[in-house]
Structure 1
């Protein structure tokens, strides 16, 4: 979720930066321009939010799925957007892939990990 929030914040910063450059290019005052075109700016902001949400749809879905898998197992899990996998926290504090963990229905039984679950 950190990445999604960061992308949304970067989208907002890009919109404000574009408005500032537009006002400087046209030699307009920034706040009166915002007040005058608030409806169009809010539509542009909503479009940016929807676009970023559509781009991040798959990782958001997998993050939610991983969260509920962890709740059902009563274990701490997280979804790694970088690796693209759900990870479970071991007793030592490290995170290992949930689907390749021993004792999981989808996992590999012969991968050599002995301390994956609590």
Structure 2
């Protein structure tokens, strides 16, 4: 089953993408699959913040773990609604999720 996720890129364009829930992907990987400008330099280990995004919808997400919180505490352009895309697994609960990509460093 796929879920629809709405991603605002750095130019303000909104991309509605379909993300599979049965492939153990995360939001960073989905962005990369759709060739959206997300680096994911560390390969999804919560060590670089190059997949930082702002959550715009009130979609329930997994709680921030210590590694993600530590990385966000050192990242640029962090807001109250910042999350690392690599730490958001694609599940059926994400249907309708709206995010905006954080600015590049």
TM range (shorter): under 0.3
Q: Normalising by structure 2, what TM-score?
A: 0.23
The higher-RCO structure (CA 8 Å, 6+ apart) is: 2
**Greater helix content:** 1
**Greater strand content:** 2
The higher radius of gyration belongs to 1
